[in-house]
Amino acid sequence: MNSGTTVSPGLDLSVRTAGGVTIAELTGEVDIASVPALREQLLCLLRPGSSRLVIDLSKVSFCDASGLAVLVSTGRRARLLGGFLRLAAVSPQVGRVLNLAGLLRSFAIFPSVQAAVSGPRPAQAGKAGTATASTPAFIALPGPSGRRPGAPAVAGDAGELRGAVTALLAHVDAWHDADPGRRFTSALRAMAHARDGTDDTAVDTAARFLLSALARHPLTHSPAVAATATRLRRVLTSRPAMT
């Protein structure tokens, strides 16, 4: 049986079964904006007697730490029900964030959906499948700017970036509320300081610093945080980094 649904404006979920295993294919962006709906959808797939879940990540174009937190909690639920969660065909974008977050060893990762469905569980999660073969490459994958480290950057009009930064800082209280561990405080302060200056390169650097924090640390969901984080990320990924 196959079924598909739109989880959020930027994320679709397609579900099918094979060999007694539920296969969930995600397409689009797994970020803080899609977290509440995605968590609900994935948990609904798990129930006693049907708790073996494979998530196909080959079509995921972006993932942040909040998205990874959903995968972690879904895996915990699957194990409590006597099943498992396996990640299949991890896209480079997701692999990079798994690497940054130090979670490669927290998941059973397989190179394909077929391998995840039929293969035995790796002796140590993260040392089998795509993790072993691809971990070194994650270091050189394109960063938030969409270019590889060392590639030349071209300065561009910073007006759109400053607008996104200003919008985010207008909701700084919401960001603080979503970050009880205060892991984003220094990034937000750096962004505010840069915004108040005239150096567009400093604004770009501070914004990318905050974006890198999103790849490492999950946030409590907040509509204001989700909207401003998504706007900032999309502005940054549409332009080369300034130097």
- Give the model's pLDDT for residue 240: 67
- Give the model's pLDDT for residue 89: 96
Give kind and range of the element (H or E) at residue 37: helix 35-44
Domains and CATH numbers, the chain: 2-138 (3.30.750.24), 159-237 (no CATH)
What are the mean pLDDT values of the chain's consecutive 10-residue runs (243 residues total)?
Answer: 78 93 96 93 93 96 94 95 95 91 90 91 44 33 37 55 96 96 96 96 95 92 95 86 61
Token pair, residue 86, equals: 């396996």
Distance CA 42, CA 31 (A): 15
- Give the model's pLDDT for residue 157: 61
- Give the model's pLDDT for residue 121: 61
Distance CA 67, CA 214 (A): 10
Q: Which residues contact 118 (CB under 8 A, 6 or more apart)?
A: 19
Q: What is the pTM of this model?
A: 0.79
Three-state SS at 160 = helix
